[in-house]
Amino acid sequence: MLMGRTIIKNLLHKYATRLHPYEQRILPDKFRGRFRFIIDKCIMCRNCAVKCPTKCITIDPETGLWEREVMACVYCGVCADVCPTGCIIMTNVYRPPITEPTKLTFMCTPRPKKKKPTEEAQTMNKKDVETAIKQQQAERTAPSLPVSEE
């Protein structure tokens, strides 16, 4: 009796599972999926590289190199949150598996640091510089402590 009821119930109701290849699951908007980079917007501020918990982003403002180790990334989405220009965007597309360590490399417009002259250099006149150089040279040539060689 109990079994008959279960059989009829199972025959009449819908599938318990999704028919996967034919019916795709709709991912929510907030899903942390694949990254999209609009790298032209990058201003090389290094916010993402500093805040990343796995340190998978390397940025060199001098050369304009922007590099991401894909396998080290844990997809926490912090870089997308802190990016001031919105050049890192997390989409809700499912991310494919990676089988070997890969690096994602972009070349951006380099922004070298402006070298500010130090206060000492500003106040020093030429004679002082010359004497300082002479002093350094004298220190270098001065006999140092005997070094034991094996």
Partner 1 sequence: MAKTLIPFGPQHPVLPEPLHLKLVMEDEIVVEAIPALGYIHRGLEGLATRRDFNQMVYVVERVCGICSCIHAMCYCQAIEGLMGLKVPPRAQYLRVIWSELHRMHSHLLWLGLFADGFGFESLFMALWRVRERIMDINEATAGNRVIISTNIVGGVRTDINTGYLQEILRTLKTVEAELKPLYDTMMNDYTVKLRTVGKGVLTKEQAWQLGAGGPTLRGSGWAHDMRTLGYEAFHELDFEPVVETDGDAYARTKVRFREVFQSIDLVRQAIAKLPDGILAVPVKGNPTGEITTRVEQPRGELFYYVYCNGTPNPERVRIRTPTFANIPPLLAMLPGVELADVPVIVLSIDPCISCTER
Residues found near partner 1 in the complex (CB under 8 A)? 16, 27-28, 30-32, 51-53, 74-78, 81, 90
Q: How far is the CB of 84 from partner 1 (least distance, A)?
A: 16
3-state helix, strand, coil in the chain (%, to 5): 30, 15, 55
Of 64, 62, 47, 66, which is closest to residue 115 (Cα–Cα)? Answer: 62
> In this complex, which beta carbon is closest to partner 1, that of residue 26 or of residue 147?
26
Q: How far is the CB of 78 from partner 1 (least distance, A)?
A: 7
Please tell me what DSSP assigns to residue 82: H
Q: How far is the CB of 53 from partner 1 (least distance, A)?
A: 4
d(CA 3, CA 87): 59
128: which 2 tokens?
Answer: 């002082």
> In this complex, which beta carbon is closest to partner 1, that of residue 82 or of residue 124?
82
Question: Please, what's the b/e burial string for 52-69 (b: 16 or more CB within 10 A of its CB; e: otherwise)?
Answer: beeebbebebeebebebe
Q: How far is the CB of 63 from partner 1 (least distance, A)?
A: 25
Q: How far is the CB of 51 from partner 1 (least distance, A)?
A: 7
> In this complex, which beta carbon is closest to partner 1, that of residue 61 or of residue 77?
77
> In this complex, which beta carbon is closest to partner 1, that of residue 32 or of residue 46?
32
> In this complex, which beta carbon is closest to partner 1, that of residue 75 or of residue 105?
75
Strand order in the sheet with 65-69: 57-60, 65-69, 103-107
| Whole-Å CA distances, 113 to 60, 63, 110 | 11, 11, 10
